[in-house]
Amino acid sequence: MRFEWHLARRYLFSHKQNQYISLVSVISILGMTVGVAALIIAMSVLNGFEQAVTGRIINFLPHVVLQNHFDLPAGFAEDPDYDFGYRYTERKALLTFDAGRQIVDIQAVELPHWPGRSKNLPFDIYGDGRLPRKPGELPGIVLGYDLSEKLMISLGDTLRLLSPLDLEPTGARMPQTVFVVTGLFDANVFDYDKLLCFIDYTEGRRLFRQKSQQTGWQIWLKDYRRAEDFYGRHSAAVPNTDLQTWYQRNQTLFEAMTLEKWGTFVGLNFIILVAVFNVVSALMMLVLEKTGEIGILRVLGATSLNIRRIFITQGMLVAVIGILAGAALGLGFVLGQTEWQWVKLPQDIYFVESLPVVLSVTEVIVIIITAFIITWLAARYPARRAAELIPVDAMNYNR
């Protein structure tokens, strides 16, 4: 194997009679480098956005939601993963302020303050977020910062909520309640900042004229990653449609992100495929250039297996150089972006300040192994052609 390695290394760039082969080899290495680096960077960016979205969801939304239950079923609160929960009801309503109108999503929660204030979540929160009515005061409402900007609402302003969906057939007065703005949140989660409002549970039941059957529970766990385990332990006690985890409620989004990652992986692998085709071209031209030398090697005792190994080794040398260079370039960018946030993003478009990246060692290994396998499979064809040359014909090829 030692002489095969020596010849493969010697043949890699030493082509005095045909410099085009050396150029193709260099292009192959550059293509492999770009392909591997692009894959590592792209997958890390997609992982980063997925983690950022997941973080926003699990910090803003409850980890488990139980619908159509006024009382928490037995065993829920005693579960070791259970942190706390509260009753809630939700409904669409019409928000009016001065001349402004907006259809909003109302969540009425049985808490003294907005859930974000109660959980000390990492969002910008303005105001104390009080929800229940105090003696001589209006009940509180907490709304998104974008909604307040659109309707020019400030802390301490009073607004009105109307419930057109609960208008009785008799034509009676539409249910409505006046609230005082006690809090604004800036969560940057989907369109919640533009549409979602929180009010007191009792006020919501009164406004929406709801019965106890229309009540649910929002449950927070000590660790959001235990949501599926919690669901598995308690789903049998309630109808399947009534109990949902944070992942189930956003399953379409996460499936779309997974599909996007697979599409990116397959798409960027075409860069590596182009580089591999260049490797095959370079090896085929090398076989033609070295046909005479191949014949001499066969006469001196080299077997067809030795010849095959020489050219497969040369193809793998190109792959090793390109893959290692691409891995170094990709890992360098990802680690540098993690440490210094080189690439900034406009906050009026994205919900993060800089390009998020999360390095997955498993994905890097898969990318490297995939590139090696593709190159190895492609290099077998020119290597087989070289090994099949008849020694006498090969020696007379260049005469």
pTM of the model: 0.86
What is the rounded average pLDDT for all residues in the chain?
A: 86
CA gyration radius, the chain = 33
d(CA 26, CA 59): 49
Structure confidence by residue, pLDDT tens digits, 34-81: 999 999 999 999 999 999 989 888 888 899 999 988 899 989 999 999
For residues 158 and 179, the answer to whether their CB atoms sit within 8 Å is yes
For residues 64 and 231, the answer to whether their CB atoms sit within 8 Å is yes
pLDDT band, residue 287 (cuts 50/70/90)? confident
| Alpha-carbon distances, residue 336 vs 41, 51, 357 (angstroms) | 11, 18, 10
Sign of dihedral through CA atoms 348, 191, 95, 217?
negative
Q: Which helix (H) or strand (E) holds 185?
A: strand 176-186
Structure confidence by residue, pLDDT tens digits, 216-272: 999 999 999 999 999 999 998 888 678 999 999 999 999 999 999 999 999 998 989
Amino acid at 45: V
